[in-house]
Amino acid sequence: MAKKKNFEFRVVYESPRGGRICELVTPHGTIETPVFMPVGTRATVKGIEPRELDEMGAQIILSNTYHLYMRPGADLVEKAGGLHKFMNYNHPILTDSGGFQVFSLADIRKVKDDGVEFQSHIDGSRHFFTPEKAIDIENKLGADIIMAFDECTPGGCERAKAREAMERTLNWLDRCKKAHKNDKQMLFPIVQGNTYADLRLESLERTMPYADVGFGIGGLSVGEPKDVMYDMLDVMQPHYPRDKARYLMGVGSADCIVEGVLRGIDMFDCVLATRVGRNGVAFTSEGKLTIRNGVYKEDFSPLDPHCDCHVCKTYSRAYIRHLINVDEMLGGKFLSYHNLYYLIHLMEDIKKAIREDRLPEFREELKKHTNYWD
């Protein structure tokens, strides 16, 4: 059992056939894992109210340090009483450090040992993020779990670059740990190493002394094939400390969630559910459906006949297709709501399978009846 003031992580059940159920205690509530975290990048899950997150059973959401630093600014959020009060969300919140967003600004940023210089994607203004500044921003935002500032590299980059980024991430982690003073926030370090097994293991070993309650696994699902990501998880799994939460960052498709849980992962997040929803794609028990397609024009059945979410109980595929095809914002909202509901309740099915020691069979059933692995 990992314990720190205001935080605790305990393993409830480990299945001999894969997967585990744990509890992560935070100042804003206890999270039962495995868990999917909806992403509220700019202090909002796009198109979804906090009360709707409660309706669908979300336990924790994620917000983004870089975007909130840019707008409305960390000082304003702090004056509002922190993210929980600013957005009126009373459950746990996790903030990433901005490292991945800076990574995505490849053409307008320069990585140095001290930090990262970059241009704003909004107005071109110049900014400099150090580990200390990232922690200061996250402290002001006031999330329960905050991530260390790291350097993420593209999937399959050359080995020398992967090692350089890993070493820099470890150096920045030490600085983050020294800068972080708020005992109502838990700092999660991040394991890097790209797709090199020995670097992943070295990073894991050197990162664990900084992991009080949990840690992130970064730099995966950034361009490498899924099989390569699974290989990296397989390499690391025997070496994970049992009493720490394991968070696979930026991963949230149904297939990757199931495969990740089988490989010992506890926490997931991704913008995929709302992003594809706004573009007319639904996650269902039949797999991914592109609702804007003509085949659904006169289909008056629900999005998913096996789903009991508000959208499926109220509206038809034909109606939602119409909304999407005429660019009505309600269509994207409906699909975003449903997709989040699907992933949150997929986690409930996964936990049931873990308790019954049949997670491998659950995976095979899902593969057989959906197109998520295609």
Q: What is the pLDDT of residue 106?
A: 65
Residue 268 token pair: 């997931």
Q: One of 144, 212, 266, 269 is an active-site residue; which one?
A: 269
CATH number of 34-270: 3.20.20.105
pLDDT in tens, 295-335: 999 999 999 999 999 999 999 999 999 999 999 999 999 99
3-state secondary structure of 16: coil
In contact, 211 and 241? CB cutoff 8 Å: yes
- CATH 3.20.20.105 segments of the chain: 34-270
Half-sphere exposure of 223 (CA within 13 A, CB side): 11
Residue 9 token pair: 């992580």
Q: Which of 227, 260, 243 is nearest to 18 (CA)?
A: 260
Those residues with Cβ within 8 angstroms of residue 212's Cβ, 6 or more apart along the chain or in another chain: 2, 4, 7, 186, 187
Q: What is the pLDDT of residue 367?
A: 98
State how far the alpha carbon of 165 is from the alpha carbons of 24, 170, 234, in Å: 30, 9, 22
Burial of 314 (0-12, 13-18, 19+ CB in 10 A): exposed
Q: What is the pLDDT of residue 350?
A: 98
Residue 181: CB atoms within 10 A of its CB come to 8
Instruction: Find how far residue 170's CA is from the centre of its chain.
Output: 21
Integer-rounded Cα Rg, in Å, for the chain is 20
Q: What is the pLDDT of residue 294?
A: 98
The predicted model scores a pTM of 0.97
Q: CA angle, 154 as apex, 151 and 157 as ends, to 5°? A: 105
Q: One of 54, 96, 234, 299 is an active-site residue; which one?
A: 96
DSSP 61-72: EEEEHHHHHHTT
Q: Which parts of the chain have pLDDT scores under 50?
A: none
243 given a catalytic annotation? no
304 given a catalytic annotation? no
In contact, 60 and 84? CB cutoff 8 Å: no
**Could you tell me whether strands 29-33 and 35-38 are parallel, antiparallel, or unpaired per DSSP bridges?**
unpaired
